[in-house]
Amino acid sequence: MELQTQIDKAATALNTLSSIIPEAELLLDAITTVVKHPGQTGLPAHVKFLTLQRSQLGACITKLQQFAPTNELEPSNGDGTSPEKSLPAVEELIRNTVTNVHLADQQMAVLKRCSYLTFISKIGRVSVVDGGHEWIVIRPKTWTLAKVARDMAEDGWEWGEYDTMDDVPRDVWADAGPYTLARAIMRLVEDAKAHRVDYRIPRIRVVMPSLRRSENDDVGLYLDVLEKMDPSVKITISCADSDFLLSPVPDMATAVRSLVVHPLTNLTSTLNLDQTILMDLVSDITHLRLEPENWLPRNTQGHIQEENAGEGGIMTKALYPVLQGRKLVCTSEVVGEFMDLVTKIGTETERQRARLLLGLDESQCEARAGYNKLTIHPLPADLQIPIAVIPTSWASASTLKEVIDSHGLPRIALPVTRAARSKLSPARIGVFLQGWLMDCHTLTGQKEMLSKFKVWVDQCRLSDEDTGPRVWKIDVTRNLLATRPPHRTKGFSE
């Protein structure tokens, strides 16, 4: 009878996997179409893990069937030993695998209720949704009322002594045990505060499907207090009777539409362009098929070789989709620096493109037509040209103070700007301040700028709510081709 029970458990888990695996594969297929590196989402590893569980369960059932009483001959493992000796190991493997499958089933049901999957974790660890802004942790079915009650006792909870959260000592879990719910949430809070997303601390949702908050007043109050553990972190504990778990589980097609989000969806409708993007848009390397001549700098030769290696070019494929359908702006200070550079070292076609791109000479229709004559990669119809130039004076010492005083920028902008001055020119700082002021993304090819602003904001933070400028980086960038230096012979004099 016990043998058949084990077989039935394994068969039930196999049946569960027969629906989970196709759903996980469907999710992986969908996310592969919008994410450059699907492996970073954890989905390939998750599918592989589920497939392994299926193989293990199948092998365990086959093994257990060797013990069936219908066998007339003494069963054997093939090496002359009796399979009874391996029975405990098989049963242990079934228990562990069934637990894994149960958690995987709950994990999928939880994720179907979420949006914008960023990372799916190994069983029992943190999954990340809402584009990185929410962490999901699912507690196993063993986290019942009895388990939580033991945790509460270990934490020093005085049963029946508290009516409201105000009655609970603030340090009630100061001596929480290493495996209690309180300690687990404390670790999550520490990790979340150390891994901000867009300058913000991720929210934490702990899902406890085997516990009902309403089944005990002390437990309900304990969970309420845990949710208020740290005022800077939003913590939600979703039990079986929570609105979250009581809500219907969407079908997989609906869930995929919510979970699979193209990264560009979160890009603001207005984009503020820095000088590197203007260079990308006017460079001959972007718009012509060139040969990497020996007189060119090595990195320029590398850009040409990279561009030639991609069918239909590389730069425009990376940049055009980001720009399409959005309002494009740049600051007058960046335009001034950029035009000085193009005038000094740009080729004739680069200078022409720059003037057309920024609308310095032609009307909108003439600018588009003229620009398209200078490229083998014509502009999409919904890519704005010319770019709108916003008059700015960020280089003036008084401008930033005036904007902060008028509440256009938060007070943290002043120390962040001081920190940035050691790395950026006033015009280049100004372009990010302008994006910050407009609450739009500043597009840049400077890959390090996003991380630099995160560091500067963290160093200068005046409160946990402080944020910095929105920065969107383009992974591909191009130099100006620049003019060929004059050939100098021996005896040449200026």
Mean pLDDT of 217-233: 93
SS3 214: helix
Q: Indicate if 167 and 302 belong to the same structural domain.
A: no
pLDDT value of position 70: 54
Q: Is the predicted pLDDT of residue 375 greater than 90, yes or no? A: yes
Looking only at the bridges linking them, the beta strands covering 127-129 and 235-239 are unpaired
Same domain assignment for residues 83 and 125? no
Q: Answer yes or no: is pLDDT of 407 > 90.
A: yes
Q: Does residue 199 contact residue 168 with C-beta atoms inside 8 Å?
A: no
Considering the domain boundaries, does residue 485 fall inside one?
A: no
Is 269 a residue whose pLDDT tops 90? Answer: yes
Q: What pLDDT is attached to residue 480?
A: 93
What own/partner pairs with CB < 8 Å and gap ≥ 24 does 171-175 have? 172/225, 173/226, 173/229
Co-location of 24 and 120 in the same domain: no
- The answer to whether the CB of 441 falls within 8 A of the CB of 453 is no
The pLDDT of residue 397 is above 60: yes
Q: How many domains does the chain have?
A: 3
User: Residue 441 and residue 270: Cα distance in Å, rounded?
Assistant: 7
User: Tell me, what's the pLDDT at 73?
Assistant: 43
Say how far apart CA 420 and CA 366 lie, in whole Å: 39
Q: Please state whether beta strands 134-138 and 127-129 pair in parallel, antiparallel, or not at all (unpaired).
A: antiparallel
Give the span between the Cα atoms of 418 and 422, in whole angstroms: 8
Please indicate, yes or no, whether residues 68 and 150 belong to a single structural domain of this protein: no
Is 260 contained in some domain? no
Strands 270-273 and 441-444: parallel
Q: Are residues 238 and 131 in the same domain?
A: yes
State the chain's mean pLDDT as an integer: 90
Closest CA to 140 of 178, 98, 182: 98
Q: Does a structural domain hold residue 255?
A: no
Predicted pLDDT at 258: 97
Q: Do 68 and 90 fall within a single domain? A: yes
The enclosing H or E element of 304 equals helix 298-309
Distance CA 377, CA 440 (A): 27
If asked whether residues 87 and 155 sit together in one domain, one would say no
Do the domain assignments include residue 347? yes
Split at pLDDT 50, 70, 90, the class of 472 is: very high
Torsion sign over Cα 144, 150, 153, 155 = negative
- Alpha helices, H only, 66-144: 87-111
Residue 207 CA, distance from chain mean position: 21
| Burial call 92-124: b when 16+ CB within 10 Å, e when fewer | ebbeebbbbbbbbebbbbbbbbbebbbbbbebe
Query: Residues 173-211: pLDDT tens digits?
Result: 777 888 899 999 999 999 999 999 999 999 999 999 999
Number of helices and strands in the chain (H, E) = 19, 9
Residue 374 has pLDDT above 90, yes or no: yes
Task: List the single range of 172-176, 300-304, 309-313 with lowest mean pLDDT.
Answer: 172-176
Specify if 252 maps to a domain.
no
Same domain, yes or no: 314 and 191:
no
CB-based contact 60:83 (threshold 8 Å): no
Flag whether pLDDT at 87 surpasses 90: no
Query: According to the model, what pLDDT value does residue 201 have?
Result: 97
Report residue 331: phi and psi, to 5°. Answer: -85, 150
User: Same domain, yes or no, for 62 and 202?
Assistant: no
Task: Please indicate, yes or no, whether residues 298 and 410 belong to a single structural domain of this protein.
Answer: yes
Residue 130 within any structural domain of the chain: yes
Q: Closest Cα partner for 474 from 371, 321, 342?
A: 321
The Cα-based distances of 309 to 294, 302, 482 in angstroms read 18, 11, 21
Indicate whether 478 pLDDT > 80: yes
pLDDT in tens, 133-167: 999 999 988 899 999 999 988 888 888 888 888 88
- Does residue 486 form part of some domain? no
Residue 75 belongs to a domain? yes
- pLDDT tens, 99-122? 999 999 999 999 999 999 999 988
What pLDDT, on a 0 to 100 scale, did the predictor assign at position 185?
Answer: 94
Q: How confident is the model at residue 357 (pLDDT cuts 50, 70, 90)?
A: very high
Percent of the chain with pLDDT over 70: 94
- Using DSSP, state whether 41 is helix, strand or coil: helix
Q: For residues 128 and 134, give the distance between their C-alpha atoms in angstroms, rounded to a whole number.
A: 6
Instruction: Assess contact for 469 and 442: CB atoms under 8 A.
Output: yes
**DSSP result, 272-288:** EE-HHHHHHHH-HHHHS
Residues 200 and 277 in one domain: no
Stronger pLDDT, 341 or 88, i.e. the higher one: 341
pTM, rounded to two decimals: 0.88
Domain that holds residue 118: 114-246
Q: Residue 273's pLDDT is what? A: 98
Helices (H), 155-287: 181-194, 217-227, 243-246, 252-259, 275-282, 284-287
Helix axes 145-154, 181-194, angle to 10 degrees: 80
Q: Same domain for 109 and 158?
A: no
Per-residue pLDDT averaged across 259-278, rounded? Answer: 96
The pLDDT value given to residue 171: 75
Instruction: Give DSSP secondary structure letters for 127-155.
Output: EEEGGGTEEEEE--TT--HHHHHHHHHHT
Range with lowest mean pLDDT among 165-169, 347-351, 441-445: 165-169
